[in-house]
Structure 1
Amino acid sequence: MINKKIIHTVFEERVQKNPENIAIVYGEEQITYRELNSRANGIGNVIDSEKYIAIFMPNSIDYVITLLGILKSGSISVPIDVLAPNERILKIITKADIETIITNKANIKNLKKILKSLKLDREIILLEDTISSENNLALKSKEDSSAYLMFTSGSTGEPKAIIGMQKSLSHFIHWECKEFAIDESFKISQLAGVTFDVSLRDIFTALISGATLYIPTQRTNIEYLARWISQSRLNLIHIVPSLFRLLLKEFEFNSYDLSELKHILLAGEALYGSDVLAFNRLYPHIELVNLYGPSETTLAKIFNRIKIEDVTNQNMIMPLGQAISNTAILILKNSKLAQVRQVGEIYIKTPFRSKGYLKEEKLSQEVFVQNPLSKKEDILYKTGDMGRYKADGTVEFVGRADSQVKINGIRVELQEIEIAIKSYKKVENAIIISEMSPSKEIVVICYYIEKSRFVQSDIREYLVEVIPSYMIPNFFIKMESFPLNFHGKIDKKSLPKPEDLIYLDREFIEPQGETQIEVAKIFSQILRVDKVSADITFTQLGGNSLNSISATAKISHQFSVQINIKEFFENQSVEKLSYLIDNAQRIETATVEIKPLAKSDDYALSNSQRRLWVLDKLQENFNSY
């Protein structure tokens, strides 16, 4: 029985229409709609309804099978990052009262090891042990039933768990499919990690449309990712701006055929005019779309189909746009509707929101509030983001009202990082601040006072076991005391800049030899530092997992070697990395001699020239440049 507000039933209808269509492609693996549905039924048949069921798997076909099976059973999926710190996994399992965890053969050994170390006894279901069935399960969910549980950063030091609703998930998926005319011919990417709600957008826009979902086998090699996008002939990509910028640099460096790509939907961070202009110069036929919406209101609730003429300067933050269907955006200042261009806080009104936070009723009431403009019950979500209306009624993002930041598109509370660092026994006190780097990335800085002496590698090793890697600060700066202002409060503006202190307590060692000098230049360009000592590590200079992807891509291009992320971080000083490069096997690259054509009165047009000529004929006085 189909109910359009319950997403897996729409998928089941699609299976009936297109059973032999390819549903998912993952590397060399692929699966049809019929097989995907049958295997999901096998999972649904072995689990109870209305339970929180954990999935311990990364992005893969197996993950999607399991997710669908849990939805069919009437239970709630809880994805767990297989690389998450044990302490984080413990918090997820205990907060959601998880009794059952589903995994596959590739991950069961690691799961058992983690459970043993945490002294937890839980039922483990192995995906490969379930029996496929073409008989769909009886519908066990209602429109208001919970569908998924996603954990996000919390200001108390404990992760918050957001309860997603069936009808809300279905509402957004149907909106996107209609807005972008997605049909069975589409090829759609899944780049988001499974522990983020946007992964559901990737998965279900494809699966309710009869389209094909493409999942990359790796995400940390930017050259591979660019080649994968091109070779997969994708039509629609969902991506965060920080990863988009890395791909943009690769697209500028090498030529990639993206002729089939129609739309790139960006969300999670601010998108800048410079991003739009640079991409449009390369691929003017591809539409960029800005999306905005917190997890609490289910995926995106504002969108902006960007036109190049809307970019008035390269430093502008691209407008968020207008509300999607069944949604209203209110910008309030002092409980009144803000005037045009007046800055206020962004509130979202929609019946298609989440249920709030699991076991956090007080916190839910603080963010799901009564509309001050209405005398009747009318619930709004208080985003904490500041914005303003433009003259045409669209919304612009201005900044945050609190200490929350987005790191690589992932929402992070700085207080959670601060609490984790203060829990380290050798730290007396700590302050966490964030800054925007020249390359428009968030840089997190920890200033700390020691209780007893330690080296930075000690606290990094401690934090790896406590918080996700993306939350570990870029810089750790030791202080004897914190500067105070006139009122006796910590004066954050007077805290020293990390780049001013890098070589305060260490000798600068000049890079030696051609390779070391070039590697130091790469570090300098990516991290925007003037001096790079031969013995200093990429991490000590403020590097992180995201800009390490850019570093390995540059090394690959410059030295014709392949250095993976694991090797990079194991050898991340200029000295060690240069030794690795000098002893690595060179990649064979074919070169073709370019010979000039004989002189002629006219020459055949290139593909890009022919496209410009056609556009000019279709639209008089069209100015492509």
Structure 2
Amino acid sequence: MSSYKESKRESVAVPEQIAYAIYTSGSTGKPKGVIIKNEAVTNTILDINEKYSVNETDRFIGLSSMSFDLSIYDIFGAFSAGATLVMIEDQRDIKKIHDIVKEEKITVWNSVPMIMEMLVNYMDETENKSNAGVINYDELPELRLVLLSGDWIPVHLPERIKDHFVESEVISLGGATEASIWSIYYPIKTVKAEWTSIPYGYPLSNQTYYVLNYENDPCPIGVKGELFIGGKGVAEGYLNDKEKTEASFIDHPDFGRIYRTGDMGVLTQEGYIEFLGRKDHQIKVRGYRVELGEIESVILEHRQVRNAVVINQKDARNQDVLYAYVAGHQSLPPTDLKEFLSLKVPEYMIPSYIVQIEEVPLTSNGKVDRKKLLALDVTDQASIGRKIKEPRTEIERDLVGIWKSVLKTDEISIDDNFFELGAWRFGAAQSRLG
């Protein structure tokens, strides 16, 4: 130590300098390096810390991979407040995470919803297996702030969190890597019975959210549009990719430089934004707009279901087919779940395939690994496909032949509904032409 000079070197960092470049795959699957300035990310971190009084007494748990921008808040949110950051080795080791929360007296939790759901599932199961039948979770009173982002939040999850961490604040956060971690927030105090999703929320300090139409003009209240982000958090662009930067970051004549998220949303009369999913992931089944999160929420109401993911995939006729992947507490016959769903949702919202899995696979960022689920072979899995009844008469054979030709499918049963199989498309096309 004696060889070091006593004089301190002055910091040369300024707000306009680049803080980091972090890669995100986005919706295309091709990595893009997002360039973030010091002032942009500092604005987000200081705003969250101020809103929720994060200070030197807090203890963070580091759940996210360093390649995921949630880790930026874990590191600098903790250190800028003088708080403690406790790192973990494996975000899938829920028992270890539970033990760390308890032993290290964690107060701030920041993760995608699935990781928190895995924790409360573990706690529920541990409680059910205990000799006394009840565990006193007063042993875990320290967790006071739960930040959830990066994926849909199941509507039942906030209440389940409160069951175990009674004094905690549960906050929904959203935005984009291209806008410095988060740009929008919603404190989840109560969940209304009619909600099918958690509100997206209100812009964070010095940030703005816009719902714009196809001409980039503001949409009226209640009208769906594309979400754009403006303000201090907007990134400089993509590293060494001028074309993608110019496509995603635009100079608006009224709002200045804004980022095109590719997400859809609507501004409500209450003043918050409701998230409606990705622009390129909007689906219709038999002409009806379907929210996959709404189906997942209903499946999760079944007492034997622990986790559920619903995914759509195109069939040979370019129609959306719904797949439900269900993790249950015990064996769950698809026919039973189909009957349960038929009492709660329209027929077109019932998945064509229901596959039971042991656990929901996660990516390195803790999000649901949908590609891995779609790669599963469902042909040998229990599904709720239709039973094909063959034609019995010459007229029925002729009709089945016509239907197969028109609908471009080989699976026609004599008790099928022509329009439910996809013929609504032709009526809709004719109404547009007429």
Determine which of 353, 356, 359 is the counterpart of 2:237. Answer: 356
Determine which of 224, 234, 237 is the counterpart of 2:109. Answer: 237
Residue in 2 that maps onto 1:483: 316
Determine which of 138, 153, 158 is the counterpart of 1:271. Answer: 153
Residue in 2 that maps onto 1:619: none
- Please state how far the C-alpha of 1:219 moved relative to its aligned partner: 2.1
What one-letter code is carried by the residue in structure 1 that aligns with 2:260?
A: K
- Please state how far the C-alpha of 1:523 moved relative to its aligned partner: 6.8
Unaligned runs of 5+ in 1: 1-37, 39-130, 406-433, 448-481, 485-490, 500-519, 532-538, 548-625
- Please state how far the C-alpha of 1:540 moved relative to its aligned partner: 9.8
Counterpart CA distance in 1 for 2:6 and 2:61 is 27
1:41-72 deviations in whole A, cap 9, x for unaligned?
Answer: xxxxxxxxxxxxxxxxxxxxxxxxxxxxxxxx
Q: CA RMSD in A?
A: 3.5
Determine which of 120, 124, 133 is the counterpart of 1:248. Answer: 120
Q: CA, structure 1 residues 498+234, in 2 after alignment: closer, same or farther (shift >3 Å)?
A: closer
Q: CA, structure 1 residues 442+160, in 2 after alignment: closer, same or farther (shift >3 Å)?
A: farther
Counterpart CA distance in 2 for 1:138 and 1:273 is 49
Are residues 1:402 and 2:277 paired? no
1:495-535 deviations in whole A, cap 9, x for unaligned?
Answer: 58589xxxxxxxxxxxxxxxxxxxx975745x97989xxxx
Counterpart CA distance in 1 for 2:245 and 2:55 is 37
Counterpart CA distance in 2 for 1:314 and 1:274 is 12
Residue in 1 that maps onto 2:180: 298
Q: CA, structure 1 residues 192+333, in 2 after alignment: closer, same or farther (shift >3 Å)?
A: same
Correspondences of 1:378-457 after superposition (within 5 Å):
378-403=256-281, 438-439=299-300, 442=309
Corresponding pairs, count: 316
Are residues 1:226 and 2:106 paired? no
Counterpart CA distance in 2 for 1:258 and 1:226 is 10
Determine which of 361, 368, 382 is the counterpart of 1:545. Answer: 361
Specify which structure has the higher proportion of strand.
2
- Between the aligned residues of both structures, percent identity stands at 24
Correspondences of 1:87-486 after superposition (within 5 Å):
137-153=9-25, 158-253=30-125, 254=127, 255=135, 256=137, 257-308=139-190, 311-313=191-193, 316-334=196-214, 335-371=216-252, 374=254, 378-403=256-281, 438-439=299-300, 442=309, 483-484=316-317
What one-letter code is carried by the residue in structure 2 that aligns with 1:371?
A: H
Counterpart CA distance in 1 for 2:282 and 2:23 is 15
- Please state how far the C-alpha of 1:211 moved relative to its aligned partner: 1.1
Q: Retained in 1: the 8 A contact 2:183–2:233?
A: no
- Please state how far the C-alpha of 1:175 moved relative to its aligned partner: 0.9
Q: CA, structure 1 residues 193+252, in 2 after alignment: closer, same or farther (shift >3 Å)?
A: same
TM-score between the two structures when normalised by the length of structure 1 = 0.46
1:359-390 deviations in whole A, cap 9, x for unaligned?
Answer: 11111111111225x1xx71111111111112
Counterpart CA distance in 2 for 1:285 and 1:229 is 15
What one-letter code is carried by the residue in structure 2 that aligns with 1:299?
A: I
Q: CA, structure 1 residues 140+360, in 2 after alignment: closer, same or farther (shift >3 Å)?
A: same
Residue in 1 that maps onto 2:419: none
Q: CA, structure 1 residues 332+259, in 2 after alignment: closer, same or farther (shift >3 Å)?
A: same
1:143-170 deviations in whole A, cap 9, x for unaligned?
Answer: 2222212111156653111112111111
Name the SS for the 2:120 alignment partner: helix
Unaligned runs of 5+ in 2: 128-134, 284-290, 301-306, 338-354, 364-434
Q: Retained in 2: the 8 A contact 1:524–1:530?
A: no
Counterpart CA distance in 2 for 1:171 and 1:347 is 18
Counterpart CA distance in 2 for 1:223 and 1:314 is 34
Counterpart CA distance in 2 for 1:304 and 1:223 is 29
1:565-591 deviations in whole A, cap 9, x for unaligned?
Answer: xxxxxxxxxxxxxxxxxxxxxxxxxxx
Specify which structure has the higher proportion of helix.
1
Counterpart CA distance in 1 for 2:272 and 2:96 is 37
1:67-91 deviations in whole A, cap 9, x for unaligned?
Answer: xxxxxxxxxxxxxxxxxxxxxxxxx
- Please state how far the C-alpha of 1:340 moved relative to its aligned partner: 1.8
Q: CA, structure 1 residues 136+149, in 2 after alignment: closer, same or farther (shift >3 Å)?
A: farther
Residue in 2 that maps onto 1:551: none
Q: CA, structure 1 residues 139+185, in 2 after alignment: closer, same or farther (shift >3 Å)?
A: same
Are residues 1:492 and 2:319 paired? yes
1:456-477 deviations in whole A, cap 9, x for unaligned?
Answer: xxxxxxxxxxxxxxxxxxxxxx
Q: CA, structure 1 residues 274+132, in 2 after alignment: closer, same or farther (shift >3 Å)?
A: farther
